[in-house]
Homo-oligomer: A and B are copies of this chain.
Amino acid sequence: MEKYDALIFGHKNPDTDSICASLVQEKYNKNNGWNTKAVRLGNINKETEYVLKYLGIDAPKLINEVADGQDVILVDHNAFAQSVNNIENAHIQMVVDHHRISNFETKEPLYYIAKPYGCTCTILFEEFKNANMKIEKKEALLMLSAIVSDTLLFKSPTCTKYDVEAAKELGKIAEVDVQTYGLDMLKAGTDLSDFSPSELINIDSKEFVTGNYKFQVAQINVTSIEDVLENKSSIEKAMENFMTENGTNLFIFLITDILNNDSQSIVLGDTKLFEKAFGQTVENNMALLEGVVSRKKQIVPVILEALEKMGN
């Protein structure tokens, strides 16, 4: 590979924010004379594909691990469990993220910019502003797409006024109608026809580790929950296989209806904990979570709190 000062990447099973934020960070660095390169840790999903095609640009190169001492920049994640293989031995120069901090440690001081926003790209938007740096049309569309994706067109409880403000301005620069473009992009992401059940549970899947407890929360966006449930038993088998391979205690698979903003969940493993956490019965491995669209805000903290109460 060509020599770069650092590699930039989002989390495993990259979503639109992970891909767009790495590309935008690369451009920001380039403007500052810093020769860094966006890469990715997994397949591009259909939603992100829509964005890249719209712009006529290629996806960042796929990597699976980094060499010892490799300089890296993390966007849209910090937990080592969600990062590149061998991250423990890389040299982390910088993190730009909007998640809680956990399972993260460095040997040296670093740049770390986190804000409790709906999207990493909203933070990057503000970095461009702080630096009085002009935002080009291409980066505007990348950032806008990430914000629409992460906030489900501003309907997620993770959405802040900063995300809304940024999207508004970015839509103008990108010269698109935010609602029209946003819904088209989200709908493109709901085309899951190409995916096998084991791919489906990996499109946007994150592992969380607390003590010896491992839980997995995967999420897909759809316009019809019923269509997905036609393959319920195959999906459950894929989830079971995953849990055996990874020693997962609890697996929550969220099927999120982006038009009604509810999620049907398939829950395997420690369903008792799930039931305590959400005060809802798991029947036939399922529980409907009304108004739930955000893993970060409506699932992970609820599970963590329940685990803490149980003394994990």
Contacts and interface: CB of A to CB of B under 8 A. Distances in A.
A176 interface: no
Nearest to A112: B114
A29 to B, nearest CB: 15
A106 B102 contact: yes
Contact of A100 (B99, B108, B115, B305): B108
Most buried by B among A107, A109, A111: A109
B114 A111 contact: yes
Nearest to A116: B109
B304 A109 contact: no
Interface residues of A, number: 25
Counting every copy of the chain, the complex holds 2
A103 to B, nearest CB: 8
Contacts of A305: 107
A133 interface: no
Contact of A101 (B105, B117, B301): B105
A101 B78 CA distance: 11
A11 interface: no
Contacts of A296: 109
A40 interface: no
Interface of A: 98-117, 130, 296, 301, 304-305
